[in-house]
Chain A
Amino acid sequence: MSSTTVTPERSGFPVSEYIVCLNGIVWREALRFLHQRERFVSALVRPLVWLFIFAAGFRQVLGISIIPPYETYILYEVYIAPGLMAMIQLFNGMQSSLSMVYDREMGNMRTLLVSPLPRGYLLFCKLLAGTAVSLLQVYAFLLIAWFWDITPPTIGYLTVLPALVLSGLMLGALGMLISASIKQLENFAGVMNFVIFPMFFASSALYPLWRVQEGSPMLSYVCQCNPFTHAVELIRFALYGKMNWVSLAVVGGCTVVFMIGAILAYDPSRGLVRRGPGGGEA
């Protein structure tokens, strides 16, 4: 047999291919989300239960003093709304990572990872796709919350968007990092206990930090170190057209760190994950 053959030779990738790839990944994630209606419903029910039941009960117990970004006294429901928006993104980030573990076990992840585009870019697209899905959920929540008298300024619905994108990326990257280190789907339940609940409760989502400080200075310190607190505060300020620069720096920094960690974890040559034969590999 002759060794003379054909080599379709191109070097590099045009920008259009990157865009097509991004569109494709977001499109697929959206399709999967639409096919899982119960996921959408549960993503909405969770924060609404907190809003309608928990907040209603605690309204009389917990007084909220005037703290930035609020310019007057507010109801407790109004206070926890940004925390619940961040909670939606936290659960969505973990759901995405669960989906990545599932895809890895089912083999679907290989389809993504053998694409010729840079692996880091592919994972970034995957993150963006997960964030886009979380945005749908958050805005659906805001719509329902509007009927519950949670009415931020109209411009707030727009100014909160970049904050939601950034916090969604951070939480998604955290989920991706976790998914890279999980060997089996069954281990994912541990994530609920060791990541989601501590992150949510040890934050300013449910109580202002000055309240936590009164009860436990140590817990207050933990809350301040929790990136989820800063995601909540970034969203809270942005929802009222203001900027919390510290939170922006923390969330931005954590997004970069988590994303690099996630990309490294999926890099077979420098991976954090020890891959064995036949299974568990991404």
Chain B
Amino acid sequence: MTATDAHIASQSSPDASPVATAQPALSIGNVSHSYGPRRALIDVNFTVQPASFTALLGLNGAGKSTLFSLVTRLFGIQNGQIKIFGHDISRRPGEALRLMGVVFQPRTLDLDLSLTQNLLYHAALHGISRREARLRSAEVLTRIGLADRAGSKVRDLSGGQMRRLEIARALLHRPRLLLLDEATVGLDVKARADILDHVRQLVTEQGIGVLWATHLFDEIMPGDDLVVLHQGRMLAHGPMSRVIADAGAQDVNTAFMRLTGTATLTGKPPT
């Protein structure tokens, strides 16, 4: 799906009164953040385009989760500016958050509620009527293959199923930007591949912009945009092939090592 297709598709969306703009899905401008004397992010700048998959690559402690907390307004922005489709998250958080779906690194499902109840709760937080929420819940549960478990408690699901449910929940209000923070941590190889495929489909079929934070090389594909974050600094940003070429490397693994001067990350280099 091209961006134009996405525009057309959106016109049939009940929530969207589409406005074609030249806005990036996410724009991070000179963002810095400190925890007391420790600087967690230093002048980070990058954009995520609609209908694109951007991998935010960094070791544990690089500042990925801090950046997610800033983008989702869990933390206040100390320096810099963050915009979602042109809406400043500090000044117009409601408009910005409405366009965004988030999957956090820790599980945020209510384990004692059923799958449907979790989805209905999320829908209510976005002001979606109960009737519409039921329709959308049934739809997304079918899409992720969990329709037959709709009434089960979430605690009875496997880790991979929980993650799929979280992604489905993040998409329930039909956002145009999806943020996923280490969404595959703790999952087996097949569950990881399934989730990654599912998210990539969202990019191509629904034109959603995706920011995928990870420390695993094998989750990055040649066509992706790449942001390399290390010790709070952004070391590279651009199409993966350009980042690799600029680093004078053959693959993303080597490029990362050259950029950061660190040992290799886990995972295999993309082919």
Contacts and interface: CB of A to CB of B under 8 A. Distances in A.
B50 A6 contact: yes
Contacts of B112: 32, 35
B48 to A, nearest CB: 11
Interface string A100-119: 00000011101111111110
Contact of A2 (B2, B98, B123, B209): B2
A46 interface: no
Contact of A23 (B15, B50, B51, B124): B124
Given A1-B51, A5-B3, A118-B94, A277 B40 contact: yes
B97 interface: yes
Contact of B10 (A6, A112, A281): A6
Interface string B132-146: 000000000000000
Given A4-B7, A28-B110, A111-B108, A270 B125 contact: no
Given A7-B86, A269-B76, A28 B13 contact: no
Interface string A21-39: 1011101100110010000
Interface stretch (A9-17, A194-202, A247-255): A9-17
Interface in B101-147: 102, 104, 106-110, 112-113, 117, 120-130
Contact of A8 (B16, B23, B73, B102): B16
Contacts of B122: 111
A108 B108 CA distance: 4
Given A5-B176, A10-B95, A20-B130, A113 B24 contact: no
Contacts of A267: 76
Given A5-B6, A7-B86, A16-B127, A116 B120 contact: no
Contact of A20 (B21, B127, B174): B127
B106 A107 contact: yes
Contacts of A12: 94
Contacts of A215: none
Nearest to A111: B108
Contact of B98 (A10, A113, A271): A10
Contacts of A269: 76-77, 90
Contacts of B24: 3
Given A277-B35, A281-B75, A4 B20 contact: yes
B270 interface: no
Q: Which of A6, A106, A267, A271 has the most CB of B within 10 A?
A: A6
Nearest to A109: B108
Interface string B64-95: 01100100111111000000011000100111
B263 interface: no
Interface residues of B, number: 72
B94 to A, nearest CB: 4
A276 B7 CA distance: 40
Question: Which secondary structure characterizes the binding site on chain A?
Answer: loop
B19 A7 contact: yes
Query: How many A residues touch the partner, as a band?
Result: 35 or more
Interface string A233-254: 0000000000000000000000
B222 interface: no
Contacts of A190: none
Given A7-B19, A9-B18, A117 B127 contact: yes
A59 interface: no
Nearest to A276: B35
B6 A270 contact: no
A9 B19 contact: yes
B95 A28 contact: no
A6 B20 CA distance: 5
Interface in A108-166: 108, 110-118, 122
A22 to B, nearest CB: 8
A247 B35 CA distance: 43
A18 interface: yes
A5 B108 contact: no
A5 B93 contact: no
Of all A-B residue pairs in the complex, the 8 with the closest CB atoms, nearest first, are A24-B124, A17-B127, A269-B76, A5-B50, A8-B16, A107-B106, A115-B125, A268-B76
Given A6-B18, A27-B124, 10 more contacts: A4-B3, A5-B6, A5-B85, A6-B176, A7-B99, A13-B94, A20-B129, A24-B123, A112-B125, A116-B126
9 contacts: A1-B49, A7-B85, A10-B95, A11-B95, A31-B113, A107-B108, A111-B108, A116-B95, A277-B66
Interface of A: 1-14, 16-18, 20-21, 23-25, 27-28, 31-32, 35, 106-108, 110-118, 122, 267-271, 274-278, 281-282
